[in-house]
Amino acid sequence: MARSPAHALPPAPKQTAADYEAPDVLVVDRTDQLRALGDDLRASIVALLRDRAHSTSELAEKLRLPKGTVGHHVKVLEKAGLIQVVRTRQVRAVTERYYGRTARLFLFQVSQDADAEDVRNIAAASLRRVAEEMLPFVESDRTAFGVLRLHLRDADAKRFARRLDRLIEDARAAEDASGELYGIAIAQFRRAPDA
């Protein structure tokens, strides 16, 4: 079994409500945003901030990394508009900042002129994150996954993409804070021919 990186997330406690306000969706389409989320540590930070605001010190403790390292990555995410200060607290003579996401859900929209390396990095980071979250539950009767490699006509590929978009909308509409936490990873992409 592969060893988890030092910044792999501990299991999240079941939480019924977010502790800060944020819009439901942010379309992530700028190069700086894609580049920021293409890093595994920054993806872990964003995941930790989904429902609960954290200070840099709290993030460093959860990720078992130096505060300075985490602080650098927090600044990159903040500059890209993916996280923001949602509250502050005075601790002696220092103001402690608590960060939250700028939206609960990030939807990636990649333009034709996007840097291919940034797109690969964000896809890889996202799929690694899904694999980490999924690993403890792979034997569950409520976990299903598959990878298909098939030939499709353009019209069929477009039809499946529309169906996947509808599935995302249906899943979001069914969300209920009193239910169990689930993840859904959806991707359709054009593959290079096998060598």
Query: Any idea where the domains of the chain sit in the sequence?
Result: 25-140
Residue 138: what pLDDT? 67
Which one, of 16, 19, 37, lies nearest residue 28 by Cα?
37
Contact by Cβ (8 Å): 24, 104: yes
Mind spelling out the 3-state secondary structure of 77-136?
A: HHHCCCEEEEEEEEECCEEEEEEEECCCEEEECCCCCCCHHHHHHHHHHHHHHHHHHHHH
Contact by Cβ (8 Å): 52, 97: no
d(CA 45, CA 49) in angstroms, rounded, equals 6
- 49-61: pLDDT as tens digits: 988 999 999 999 9
pLDDT digits (tens), the chain, 195 positions: 333 444 444 444 444 468 899 998 898 888 899 889 989 999 999 989 988 999 999 999 999 999 999 999 999 999 999 999 999 998 888 899 999 999 988 888 777 766 777 777 878 888 887 777 777 776 666 677 777 788 899 999 899 989 988 998 898 889 888 888 888 877 777 777 764
The CATH classification of domain 25-140, taken from the options 3.40.50.720, 3.90.230.10, 1.10.10.10, 3.30.230.70: 1.10.10.10
